[in-house]
Amino acid sequence: MVAALAAIALGVVAAPASARRQAAPSPGAAGIGDRLFPTLGNGGYDARHYRLAMRYPTSTPEQTVDGRVTMLARATQSLSRFNLDFAGDSVESVRVDGSRANWTRDGDELVITPRRPIRDHRKFVARIEFTSGPYTPTAEQGGLPFGWFTTLDGSVTAGQPDQSQTIYPVNDHPADKATYSFRLDVPAGVAAFANGVRVSSRTRGGRTVSHYVMRQPMASELIQLAVGDLTEIDRGETRGVPLRDVVAEACAQASEPLLARGPVHMGWMIDRAGRYPFDNYGVLVANQQFGYALETQTLSLHPCFLFDPAQFPNQQVAETVVVHELAHQWYGDSVAPESWSDVWLNEGHATWYEWTSGDEFFGGPFEFVGRIRGAYEQGDIWRAQYGPVAMPASNELFELFSPNVYDGGAVVLYALRQVIGDRTFRELERRWAQRYEGESVGTEDFIALASKVSGRNLGPFLRDWLYGTETPPMPGHPDWQPKPVTSTARRSQSAAQPLELRALLEKR
């Protein structure tokens, strides 16, 4: 060993053949290769960590915000240039490893050419100064604003599926998760929250600067930056998980009865999915009208009206939606989809726990098997309208987040339970959440694990359910029949609302 070290010091040891043969630098791909979003994400590197700093100049909800993102990444090829996704307002400067880099914007792509090529496997740091900012939702959006939008007292973010790039430069695809740290600089008197744990907050000179860290990997679509007239409610710990809700002051009183059940929900989910995968959890109640909830990591986004019996009388439905978002912390956040075709792994699982919680908490119209049967009967119609469960027809909102992905995904899980039994199914659910914690995985990974846990080859069975154009017979229920597909069965927004609150707009 000593002799070898001396030889290296003298420079007489030849470089490994693999290093000598390293490929010439070339551009990283402008897309990660997703079937539904060909230009989303980027190739040539693996993002490891983002440091995101945002300075809100005023307390006005709609404003231009100065930002700086610093990405620590590792090259997966020799790079002559690489891309980030960015559809925000402007880019001010770009540095790579401390040196100024050339850059251009090509649609929603920020194309960066460093001063020197980046060698394969080498870590590098890219720092981008930019401006962006929240917008005010319009009536034309039909209650479905996404990206970075204003509330009545501030702003929130909703990046799913491809809108985080409107907020900050990022490799905007769930296949490339990273850890995060946040620095939010706001006028004194304005509250600011982000994913993860607050590690410091200081007010000086009329400004408050808060720092948050998200230690576990997070997909870009799950980022949350909430600013405004907000209050934090500490609910202590449940099963060792610190719980805190963030609520718009105007919504606090009406939302408290449902929010207070958060510890019950957390204990219920841990019993089913196993250890909670993050450092804390809470519900964000925003003072704005939008027709969905979103599983932003550790701080799930909900509209104020959902918690107000005067605006939304069916608080039992509201409670199952809250459970749906909590379930996503395991299924969709911690275990993220490898591609957007795999989104049924998020929504099918979250719908499963939404429905089972409704059955266990309330019964009656929430009776679980009846809801499964109703969804099963729609199976052929949904497959004709939206594509198979694990093969959405397009990235159009109502096809990507269709009832076949949500309810149809839950039906697939029910069929699987019918075959392997409840005890094995429960074990699979826990193993799936624990085995792939912090990773991005796909449908074939689920099939492989289901086969391993059950001790039988479930590939043909599950692929038939997930990729078939016709709904298979339901095991144990020979009397169940899908409704026929007729010429009047057309895809329409009125058929079913996408996303978590599709029932809310019908029942308000």
* Homologous superfamily assigned to 251-508: Neutral Protease Domain 2 (1.10.390.10)
Sign of the Cα torsion 202, 93, 127, 36 reads positive
The H or E element spanning position 380 is helix 379-386
Q: Locate the domains of the chain by residue range.
A: 26-228, 251-508
Residue range 283-339, pLDDT digits in tens: 999 999 999 999 999 999 999 999 999 999 999 999 999 999 999 999 999 999 999
Q: What pLDDT does 487 receive?
A: 72
Q: What pLDDT does 476 receive?
A: 98
How large a percentage of the chain has pLDDT more than 70?
A: 92
pLDDT at 2 over 60: no
The number of residues in the chain equals 508
Tokens 């959902």, located at residue: 306
Q: What pLDDT does 162 receive?
A: 97
Residues 400-417, mean pLDDT to the nearest whole number: 98
141 DSSP assignment: G
Q: What pLDDT does 488 receive?
A: 67
Q: What pLDDT does 489 receive?
A: 63
pLDDT at 213 over 90: yes
pLDDT at 505 over 50: no
Here the tokens at position 342 are: 């795999």
* Average pLDDT of the residues of the chain: 93
pLDDT at 212 over 50: yes
Cβ neighbours of residue 172 closer than 8 Å, sequence gap 6 or more = 40, 41, 85, 159, 162, 164, 165, 220, 221
Band of residue 493 on the pLDDT scale cut at 50, 70, 90: very low
Residues 210-235, mean pLDDT to the nearest whole number: 98
pLDDT at 409 over 60: yes
Band of residue 419 on the pLDDT scale cut at 50, 70, 90: very high
pLDDT at 483 over 80: yes
pLDDT at 5 over 60: no
pLDDT at 14 over 50: no
- List strand residue ranges (DSSP E) for 326-452, in order: 336-337, 440-441
Q: What pLDDT does 325 receive?
A: 98
Band of residue 498 on the pLDDT scale cut at 50, 70, 90: very low
Residue range 26-72, pLDDT digits in tens: 999 999 999 999 999 999 999 999 999 999 999 999 999 999 999 99
Cβ neighbours of residue 62 closer than 8 Å, sequence gap 6 or more = 133, 134, 135, 136, 150, 155
pLDDT at 19 over 50: no
Q: What pLDDT does 21 receive?
A: 62
Band of residue 23 on the pLDDT scale cut at 50, 70, 90: confident
Residue range 105-139, pLDDT digits in tens: 999 999 999 999 999 999 999 999 999 999 999 99
Band of residue 490 on the pLDDT scale cut at 50, 70, 90: low
Angle at 289 between CA 284 and CA 292, to 5 degrees: 65
Q: CATH number of the domain at 26-228, please?
A: 2.60.40.1730
pLDDT at 491 over 60: no
Residue range 225-264, pLDDT digits in tens: 999 999 999 999 999 999 999 999 999 999 999 999 999 9
pLDDT at 178 over 70: yes
**Using an 8 Å Cβ cutoff, are 269 and 327 in contact?**
yes
pLDDT at 506 over 90: no
Here the tokens at position 46 are: 């693996």
For strand 191-194 and strand 225-228, is the pairing parallel, antiparallel, or unpaired? antiparallel
Cβ neighbours of residue 176 closer than 8 Å, sequence gap 6 or more = 32, 41, 46, 47, 220, 440
Residue range 446-479, pLDDT digits in tens: 999 999 999 999 999 999 999 999 999 999 999 9
